[in-house]
Amino acid sequence: MALPQQAGEPDAHHAVAPHQHDTSLGHHDDSHTGGHGTSVPRRGQYRSHDLIFTTIARDALVGARGSFPSEARAWATRHGPGVVLQRRLAQADRVSLAPLSPLHETPRRAGFAHLAFERAGPRTVVRTALAHSPLRLLTPRNHGHAAWAYTSSFGGGLVDGDHLSLQVDVAPGAAAWVSSQGANRVYRSPSGCRSDVSARVGEDALLAWVPDPTACFTGARYSQTLAFQLAPGASLVLADLITSGRSASGERWAFSHYASTLRVHVGERALVDERWLLDPTHGTLPERLGRFEAMATLLLVGPALATVREALHARITALPVTSRALLIPSSSPLGTQGLLVRAAAMSVEELVRTTRDWLSFLPALLGDDPWARRV
C-alpha cells in the first residue's frame, strides 16, 4: 500500500511519508477563514535541529500585501530548512508567523483488525470485520461461494512507529480470500515498524492469504510475523512477495532492515517455522541480491490442494535453470502435507505474473476470480 501530493505544493512533498517530520512542508489542516486581513493561514511544521517552527502555506504567502517584518524574515532564514522556505519568504509581502509548538516524538499508530468468516448454507459470509485506524477492511461481494476481504491503511503505507495487527478466523467448512488493496509501502522508519498477522483455520476450511507485494523504501526498518494455526483437514494458500523498493527512483534494496517470520502449525505439529532477514550489516543488499528486483514465497498446505501441489511441483522442477534467467524458482515438498515454493525475479512484473499463473487454480476453489477485477 506513493503518497498523493498536497494541493498547491508540487515541489515540497517528494517521497515524504505521512506523520514524519522532514525538511519539506508537512500536512496542512483546513482551518482558515476568508475575510480580508483576518485569515487564519494553514500551517505546516518543519524540523530544524531541536526546533519545530510553523510556516505559512503557499496560499497564505503568495499574493499577500504589505511588507514582511524584517525580524521575522531574519529569524526564519537563520532557523529555516533552506532554499524552499527562503524562496517562499521572498515571495511574501506581509504575513505573521504562528507561535512555536513544542517538539514531539514521531507519532506512533497502533492499528488492530479482526476478520471472521463462517459458513452460511452454500456460501461463506463475513461474520466480523472490525478495524481500528489506521487499518481498514473492505469486504466486496463476489459471485462465488467464498468470502473476500481486502486490507488497507489510511495514509498509504507504514511509517515510523506503526504496529499493525490482524486476526483472521475461518470457521470449519468456510472459504476465504484475504488480500490487500495495494502494495504494502513501508516508509523511512528509524525506530522501526511492524505488522503481525495471526490466523486460525478450522476443519475442512480454506484460507487464501495473497496480499500485494511489500515495498520497503530508503531507510525503512520493517518486521512482520505471519502465524497460521490449521485444524486437521484445513487448507492454506499463502503468497508473500517483497520488492527492491522504488528502483525507478534509484532506491534499490535501500531499506535498513527487513525481517519476516513465518509459522504454520497443523494441529499440534509445526510444519513451517522460518525467518527471513535482509539487512546490510554483512554487506550491501544490492551487491548481495545481484540482478534480482523481487522475491516470493508461496506455500500450499492441506488436503484441498493435494493435486495442485503435485502438479505445481512437477512443473517447477521441470523448468530449465540458466545463469541469466529472468526468474529462478525452487520447489520443496513438506512431506505429504505441503509445498514450499521460492522464486527470485529480475522484475516485479515478471514475478507477479508468474505467481498468479502458479495460483491460477484459485478461482475454481473460490468460485470467482479475484484478479479479474484488478486493473
Are residues 83 and 57 in contact, defined by beta-carbon separation less than 8 angstroms? no
Report how far residue 316's alpha carbon sits from residue 325's, in angstroms, rounded to the nearest whole number.
14
Report how far residue 299's alpha carbon sits from residue 208's, in angstroms, rounded to the nearest whole number.
10
Q: What angle do CA 252, 109, 4 make, to 5 degrees?
A: 50
The secondary structure of residue 272, as a DSSP letter, is E
Report how far residue 306's alpha carbon sits from residue 226's, in angstroms, rounded to the nearest whole number.
22
Taking 70 as the threshold, does the pLDDT of residue 213 lie above it?
yes
Q: Compute how many other C-beta atoms are within 10 angstroms of the C-beta atom of residue 316.
A: 18
Q: Region 118-125: what's the mean pLDDT?
A: 97
Contacts 24+ apart (CB under 8 A), 312-320: 312/339, 312/341, 312/358, 313/339, 316/341, 316/358
Report how far residue 228's alpha carbon sits from residue 176's, in angstroms, rounded to the nearest whole number.
14
Taking 60 as the threshold, does the pLDDT of residue 75 lie above it?
no
Q: Point out the least confidently predicted range of 66-70, 188-192, 278-282, 284-288.
A: 66-70
pLDDT tens-place string over residues 1-23: 444 444 444 443 333 333 343 33
Are residues 110 and 336 in contact, defined by beta-carbon separation less than 8 angstroms? no
**pLDDT band at residue 158 under the 50/70/90 scheme:** very high
Q: What's the mean per-residue pLDDT of the chain?
A: 79
Taking 60 as the threshold, does the pLDDT of residue 192 lie above it?
yes
pLDDT tens-place string over residues 330-356: 999 999 999 999 999 999 999 999 999
**pLDDT band at residue 215 under the 50/70/90 scheme:** very high
* H/E stretch holding 141: none
Between the CA of residue 251 and those of 162, 223, 254, 352, what are the distances in Å? Answer: 22, 19, 5, 20
User: What local confidence, expressed as pLDDT, does residue 1 receive?
Assistant: 42
Grid cell at residue 17: 511519508
Taking 90 as the threshold, does the pLDDT of residue 250 lie above it?
no
Report whether the peptide linkage leading into residue 134 is cis, meaning its omega lies within 30 degrees of zero.
yes
Instruction: Give the 3-state secondary structure of residue 8.
Output: coil
Q: Compute how many other C-beta atoms are within 10 angstroms of the C-beta atom of residue 297.
A: 20
